[in-house]
């Protein structure tokens, strides 16, 4: 019997044995290489300017085997801009920057030749959190409390008190204050107590014209142009390719000196353009998945999706994260639309990162924005979280369980009184691990646990996408008073910060951040996206509650148990009225100073009475507020919970 041969992938090109890197600069000559297996000629063009003008020189590459073209251009080329173009089927491609470029000119149209060591700020090589440097402590991912922030948003508002508003250096400033004298920016973040600052994209993206630094156009940056280069619009001089690099390093160094770790938001799932990208011009079609008609597949809803399952893009991703973590001393990555990528690639990424930074924090969106030709069984979806090595997924189950569906603006959630959301809250509290007291049939999205261990799950209720929590409540609970919505907001954050798994907060949520009701503010002006630091004064009580909860979480390991077995053994749900979720944690299993803990969440719009276990418990939080006399206030028998409130008792 004969077996029918499998059709050969039309992109089954020769794969080089060694990595293909960006230019290697030497004073006497610069080495270039590029993978272009379908080209019959490859050319390097040199320019003296980042935009326009005629080439000052051009050089022909020689084919070195396995589709890799190589060239050593003589002389000291420091300060020179460069591009590639390839000749395929009788036609020259567009001039494009090197996909591996680490320095680029304004607007990222051309690569730049220079020595990266000259971009290191004073103290960079001694950075305690540098790759290979001695760490102060090696953290467990479950110890993380992540704070998601966009560089420009952080300081562009007049109330930030920053000098370099909207810039890397603005966020690096210390001593900034709002109009009432309260800390803002970096000092506020340190004061709040979070461990990691997740920065929205700061790789070089396409949507901002860097030649107009004072322009009003805004974008989050989820439109990658040059993956390994730094975005220039956040620098004080985008026309100098080295300034953006140095100023980003100064920001990272400032955060490290505050004891904060830095997570980079990366977007390897699509590029700003499919057809005109450097990838597609150099090797047409290879780096992207195709649909049934041969066009760009679109699981990203951005016009194209990259093909991580093809070896050279897999290598690119692995080498790219390794480069960023070594050159910029990063402490982790957040992967946009991670469900587009295949599991094998993500596990190779994890292995590469942890070979450099064992305590790196890795997490991503375990979904796509559309259908992909890659089978679900092979992709890094949340349903496959247990197959990912050391990479967490966001729990949209608890997110929408807490506040209501992000796709139905009027939909309420647990904190705003929607009935039947208790199973989804239990699912989030137990970090999506198997637990006999979770009725999976009634969980809003996932009908089975997808995490084996709590470190695979991110607990959150909002992020940069969709409405802020405060705006969502204003829409879905429009009949509630502002004070009632404030209590709902507090309950939501209390639920996140008492859940097992890894905690994630959206910047400004601690003082009820609003974007004026705008749902998708990716290109809205500063008037919508800027963080108004004077809200910290107005909502000081909420800010103080969040700071207290973060401190509690960091100080009490019972809220960040390290295994599913521990959660199943130590965390037990207690009976309570409809609209409440009540559970008890045996703190002794985590060697917590609190031996017995009870968390009580009342999402309903009325007071609820809950029977307590025998014994006397001290209050830590009562109805969303800290009691002044912790030990003096005790309960036994039962407790009355205010509407839309959370309480924490211990002994």
d(CA 84, CA 70): 12
Q: Which of 148, 173, 365, 566 is catalytic?
A: 365
Longest dimension (CA), the chain: 85
Question: In angstroms, rounded to a whole number, what is the distance separating the alpha carbons of residues 200 and 222?
Answer: 8
Which among 173, 336, 396, 487 is annotated as catalytic?
Answer: 336
Please confirm, yes or no, whether 336 is among the known catalytic residues: yes
> In angstroms, what CA-CA distances link 280 with 97, 98, 269, 290?
12, 12, 14, 13
Structure-block tokens of residue 399: 């997110």
Rg (CA), the chain: 26
C-alpha 330/C-alpha 362 separation (Å) is 11
- Distance between CA 492 and CA 403 in Å, rounded? 7
Long-range CB contact pairs, 117-120, < 8 A, 24+: 118/242, 119/242, 119/245, 119/246, 119/249, 120/246, 120/249
CB 442 within 8 A of CB 423: yes
Distance between CA atoms of residues 224 and 213, nearest Å: 19
Among the listed residues 453, 541, 451, 531, the one whose alpha carbon sits nearest the alpha carbon of residue 493: 541
* Distance of alpha carbon 2 from alpha carbon 293, whole angstroms: 31
Residues 192 and 181: their CA atoms lie apart, in Å, by: 16
> Angle of helix 482-498 relative to helix 469-476, nearest 10 degrees?
130
CA pair distance 57, 44, nearest whole angstrom:
8
What does the angle CA 194 – CA 198 – CA 203 come to, to the nearest 5 degrees? 155
In three-state form (DSSP H/G/I as H, E/B as E, the rest C), the secondary structure along 87-108 is: EECCEECCCECCCCCCCECHHH
- The 3-class SS string of 47-82 reads ECCCCCCCCCEEEECEECCCCEEEEEEECCCCCCEE
DSSP codes of every residue in 553-564: HHH-GGGS-S-H
Check: CB of residue 39 under 8 Å from CB of residue 88: yes
**Rounded-to-integer distance, Cα 508 and Cα 492, Å:** 14
The 3-state DSSP composition of the chain as helix, strand, coil percent (nearest 5) reads: 30, 20, 50
Is 471 catalytic? The answer is no
**Of 109, 116, 219, residue with least CA distance to 166:** 219
Active-site residues, by number, are 336, 365
């Amino acid at each position: 019997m004969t077996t029918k041969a499998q059709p050969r992938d039309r992109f089954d090109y020769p794969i080089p044995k060694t990595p293909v890197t960006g230019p290697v600069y030497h004073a006497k000559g610069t080495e270039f290489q590029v993978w272009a297996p379908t080209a019959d000629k490859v050319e390097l063009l040199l320019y003296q300017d980042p935009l326009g003008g005629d080439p000052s020189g051009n050089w022909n590459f020689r084919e070195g085997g396995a589709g890799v073209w190589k060239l050593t251009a003589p002389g000291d080329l420091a300060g020179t801009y460069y591009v590639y173009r390839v000749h395929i089927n009788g036609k020259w491609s567009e001039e494009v920057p090197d996909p591996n470029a680490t320095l680029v000119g304004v607007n990222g149209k051309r690569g730049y030749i220079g020595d990266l060591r000259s971009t290191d700020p004073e103290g960079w090589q001694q950075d305690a959190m540098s790759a290979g440097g001695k760490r102060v402590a090696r953290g467990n991912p479950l110890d993380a409390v992540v704070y998601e922030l966009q560089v420009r948003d952080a300081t562009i508002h007049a109330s930030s008190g920053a000098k370099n508003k909207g810039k890397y250096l603005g966020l690096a400033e210390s001593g900034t204050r709002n109009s009432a004298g309260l800390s803002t920016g970096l000092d506020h973040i340190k004061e709040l107590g979070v461990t990691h600052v997740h920065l929205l994209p700061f790789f070089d993206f396409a949507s901002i014209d860097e030649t107009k630094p004072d322009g009003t156009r805004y974008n989050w940056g989820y439109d990658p142009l040059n993956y390994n280069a730094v975005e220039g619009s956040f620098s004080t001089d985008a026309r100098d390719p080295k300034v953006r690099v140095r100023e980003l390093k100064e920001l990272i160094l400032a955060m490290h000196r505050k004891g904060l770790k830095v997570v980079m938001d990366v977007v390897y799932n699509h590029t700003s353009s499919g057809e005109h990208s450097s990838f597609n011009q150099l090797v047409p079609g290879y780096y992207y998945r195709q649909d049934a008609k041969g066009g760009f597949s679109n699981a990203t809803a951005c016009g194209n999706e990259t093909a991580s399952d093809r070896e050279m893009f897999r290598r690119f991703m692995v080498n790219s994260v390794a480069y960023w973590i070594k050159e910029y001393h990063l402490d982790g990555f957040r992967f946009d639309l991670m469900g587009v990528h295949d599991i094998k690639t993500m596990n190779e990424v994890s292995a590469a990162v942890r070979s450099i930074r064992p305590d790196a924090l890795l997490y991503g969106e375990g979904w796509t924005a559309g259908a992909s030709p890659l089978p679900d069984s092979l992709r890094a979806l949340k349903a496959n979280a247990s197959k990912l090595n050391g990479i967490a997924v966001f729990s949209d189950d608890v997110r929408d369980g807490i506040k209501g569906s992000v796709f139905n603006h009027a939909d309420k959630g647990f904190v705003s009184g929607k009935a039947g959301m208790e199973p989804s809250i239990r699912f989030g509290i137990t970090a999506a691990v198997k637990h006999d007291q979770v009725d999976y049939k009634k969980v809003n999205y996932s009908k089975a646990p997808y995490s084996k261990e709590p470190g695979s799950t991110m607990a959150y209720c909002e992020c940069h996408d969709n409405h802020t929590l405060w705006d969502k409540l204003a829409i879905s609970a429009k009949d509630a008073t502002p004070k009632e919505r404030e209590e709902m907001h507090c309950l939501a954050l209390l639920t996140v910060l008492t859940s097992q798994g890894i905690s994630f907060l959206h910047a400004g949520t601690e003082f009820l951040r609003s974007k004026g009701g705008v749902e998708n503010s990716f290109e809205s002006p500063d008037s919508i996206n800027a963080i108004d630091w004077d809200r910290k004064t107005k909502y000081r009580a909420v800010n103080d509650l969040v700071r207290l909860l973060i401190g509690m979480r960091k100080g009490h390991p019972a809220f960040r148990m390290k295994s599913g077995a521990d959660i199943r053994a130590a965390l037990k749900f207690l009976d309570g009225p409809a609209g409440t979720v009540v559970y008890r944690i045996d703190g002794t299993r985590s060697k917590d100073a609190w031996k017995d803990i009870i968390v009580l969440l009342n999402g309903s719009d009325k007071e609820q009475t809950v029977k307590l276990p025998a014994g006397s418990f001290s209050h830590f939080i009562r109805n969303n507020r800290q009691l002044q006399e912790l030990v003096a206030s005790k309960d036994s028998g039962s407790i009355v919970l205010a509407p839309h409130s959370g309480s924490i008792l211990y002994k």
